[in-house]
Structure 1
Amino acid sequence: MLKNPSKPLIITRHSEGGWLAFLYYLWLFYNINPSYDKAIPIRITFGSPLLGDDGLYRAIQSRLGWYPQFLHVVSDGDLIRGTFVSSSANNSYKPFGTFIVCSSSSKACACFEDPDSVLNVLAATVESFQMLKLMDYVNLLQDIAD
């Protein structure tokens, strides 16, 4: 990627692998030469548990160009992405980036960037969905695209 910055690098993982993708992404972003601004990688997670608090949220926002590079795709029925979400106001997580929340039953998606909205939507879907399972995001996104 650094030798040919015209080709994008996309870092992606599912479930708990999203945490690893995030750590690798931060390492790569920190070590990338700023002159390669067109080679900034994009990070996409699928059903990853939440990561980070207010301090990490502010750090990501303070870095020029970092915040928009985080894309999270989650389904209302995914077991893993709801692991650390609660409806309590004491939730210490501060989501960052764009969250695409998909409904496996209605085959629809909605996008959220506001951290409080993300927490509210994730908490509401965890509480309302009883048959949580590991999601097949490839088929889910293909169904929604059709």
Structure 2
Amino acid sequence: MANGTAREAAQPRESSELPVDLETIRSAAHDVLTDGRSLTDPDEAETIILLLRGMIRLLVHEVHELASRLPREDNHRARAFACIAEARMRLRLKTEYAAHAVLVSLAQRLARTVGALADHYESLKAAP
């Protein structure tokens, strides 16, 4: 039975059954972009970065699932996958030993990425 469980865990999961709360996600990204310079505490900046990274991971998965359903030659699919590639690149950026200004800049970049992924998610959900 252990092998069966391991195989099931290795299977890629379908799009989540719970809806993505775009309103909350967009609000968090907007707050970082409008109030990002007010992140005066490095610990708070690190926490915001972790939150945004979690949102990006969720949205990357969801956008990938939706875009994969489109035909290979579809332009929207290509744009969504390009956005996913950039999001994954941003997830690899390190925060260790980063100056506070770098943390704020990274938080703002991640927030813009969250916004872009949310846009793709929304338009892909609306697509026929």
Q: Which protein is richer in helix relative to its size?
A: 2
Q: Which protein is richer in strand relative to its size?
A: 1
Q: With CA pairs under 8 Å and 6+ residues apart, which has the higher RCO, 1 or 2?
A: 2
| TM-score for the superposition, normalised by structure 1 | 0.29
| TM-score for the superposition, normalised by structure 2 | 0.32
Return the index of the structure with the highest Cα Rg.
2
